[in-house]
Structure 1
């Protein structure tokens, strides 16, 4: 039997010729890897059902990438919530209001493109600043009218590809009370943050004025999850629970007031900032976050050669540190402290 881990050299050469004939010149190695994997699935004798799943997922991702590509320079927030929420519900108004507040600040709003909270958020942001990633279900066959107005929607067959696109492109998240789907999306966000599989982003749990939905979740976490040791005591600190639209919108936007991005280079973590910290501020950061460091100190740095080769945010000041990767879930605390430096400087 043929070794399923390899593709014949002749086939690999043919694939590279096919790529060249198609006029593709960028990221050739990655394109070749995708095609070689497809051939490998054939060599493996993969079942037709598994091939259909693979084909549909790849096709859906391509369509979604095309939808988002023209807006890559625009910050985005994803708003999660129940499709069953009625227009007269206070939560509907909250979702619409927070979407409008963020749209006024230049953000685009991403939703699941369905009814309920998804429609409320799209209405609040307006058609020009809304993007939708819908799921094909018997009872949710069409995207809501707002995202459909400008054809800014992609329909997915699978939840896993839909969830990827609802999370991948956004720099902030607002969760409005909902059912199994909303809670699934919220807990996946927390898991990605806790494990370091996603870059730190602000997460807001927004309730109706005086609402107790998310307070009940906090109580469950404090009384059950933390005492049992299945999560760390500070794992939920990264989340803002509020019933204030203004507080929710500010939490999303202020997270990016000084912090810009991060990049791992080997075991070293590079934080790119909008404003350079002073020597005194760096000393204060070291005093506060020494427990997160595997060795050394937080230091000012020039762009690493890998960043230079990639042209990666070269104009921004940097801090570099050797973070204990078991503490990656606490990275958001350092980012908040970096943002607070700039806030304190502005308010002097």
Structure 2
């Protein structure tokens, strides 16, 4: 059977048939207009990257993951290396897996702290500095080799539930700015972004003062955009902040002019009234409304829905923080931050 015949067979009754049809139309248009070998290497390599990555992440989709960014040049005696290793241990203890770029330095430290059985490495072929570290190389099915940076970045953001950035060079700052841009513009759902450096290391304090503060003072970013970041010198506090982010908040569905915040448990009416008073400026029209929705696993969850301006992502983060600080009766749902499918949800 040819690949085209096999595709036709698989498409019969496929739940995503309409989306696949659109993808095939795009591929058909490229076929009609493009004969250059390099163009087809890009198409083929991109699809191969996506196919292989989906295969690795599919069986692990229910486990939340922390991505750790940092320099490949950091030596094992550097305090940042030791801090990355400690962070990964804290992440695994909290029920998270750890994603890195699979290289040396900070990446190796995080994989070492997590252990290969709790690590995933997203490697990219480079002429120097980017050979897979022995930790992710030692466990089968835990290492991906990407042909392109853009597909690698796609999966860093798609599969992560939190980002932790340690000191690094151009590549690390590129990953930080790319993540901030996608979060600020609403192209990726809200997730905690932590800047972590050893005690006494001014790396991120200097960056905040010389870059973020200057941009804010010149009106190049919104004042509330500082809420997109959390700075700390402690691995334990970094993970505590990540866990707090998913205490009441579970996930978000961002649409063009509306947001749906899925929750781990419903909030009382008086808390909803208070949120509407505190965040009236965030809502474009109407009010924040309590409802129910299905999450990515088909579970029915309580949620909050409202219309808002995507340029106010920093303010949305402030709302999520306020939600997570609500005083609610203790229950298992408030302790399940490491799972994407919590016990509070019901199957629909």
2:68 maps to: 79
Q: Would the alpha carbon gap of residues 247 and 297 (structure 1) be closer, same or farther in structure 2, given more than 3 Å must change?
A: same
Tell me if 1:21 matches 2:6.
no
- Stretches of structure 1 that go unaligned for 5 or more consecutive residues are 1-13
Q: Is the 8 A contact 1:15 1:36 kept in 2?
A: no
2:335 maps to: none
Cα distance per residue 1:216-275 (max 9 Å; x no partner):
011013542112221112212221111111110111111001101222467432221112
Cα distance per residue 1:109-129 (max 9 Å; x no partner):
000000000000000001110
Q: Is the 8 A contact 1:193 1:329 kept in 2?
A: no
Q: Is the 8 A contact 1:80 1:175 kept in 2?
A: yes
Tell me if 1:166 matches 2:151.
no
Q: So what's the TM-score if we normalise by structure 1?
A: 0.88
Q: So what's the TM-score if we normalise by structure 2?
A: 0.88
Question: Matches of 1:141 and 1:172 in 2, distance apart?
Answer: 23
1:247 maps to: 237
Q: Would the alpha carbon gap of residues 98 and 155 (structure 1) be closer, same or farther in structure 2, given more than 3 Å must change?
A: same
Q: CA deviation at 1:36?
A: 2.9
Q: Is the 8 A contact 1:196 1:329 kept in 2?
A: no
Cα distance per residue 1:72-111 (max 9 Å; x no partner):
1111010000000000000000000001001011100000
Tell which deviates more after alignment, 108-117 or 148-157.
148-157
2:299 maps to: 313
1:56 maps to: 45
Question: Matches of 1:76 and 1:311 in 2, distance apart?
Answer: 17
Partner secondary structure for residue 330 of structure 1: helix
- Stretches of structure 2 that go unaligned for 5 or more consecutive residues are 332-348
1:110 maps to: 99
Q: Would the alpha carbon gap of residues 148 and 285 (structure 1) be closer, same or farther in structure 2, given more than 3 Å must change?
A: same
Question: Matches of 1:264 and 1:176 in 2, distance apart?
Answer: 28
Cα distance per residue 1:107-165 (max 9 Å; x no partner):
00000000000000000001110000001112246311111111311111211111111
Tell me if 1:336 matches 2:332.
no
Q: Is the 8 A contact 1:301 1:320 kept in 2?
A: yes
Q: Is the 8 A contact 1:16 1:32 kept in 2?
A: no
Greater relative contact order (CA < 8 Å, ≥ 6 in sequence): 2
Alignment coverage as a number of residue pairs: 328
Q: Is the 8 A contact 2:192 2:228 kept in 1?
A: yes
Q: Would the alpha carbon gap of residues 157 and 16 (structure 1) be closer, same or farther in structure 2, given more than 3 Å must change?
A: closer
2:178 maps to: 188
Q: CA deviation at 1:214?
A: 0.1
Cα distance per residue 1:14-67 (max 9 Å; x no partner):
998653334764222333333332221121135321221121011111111111
Q: Is the 8 A contact 1:171 1:201 kept in 2?
A: yes
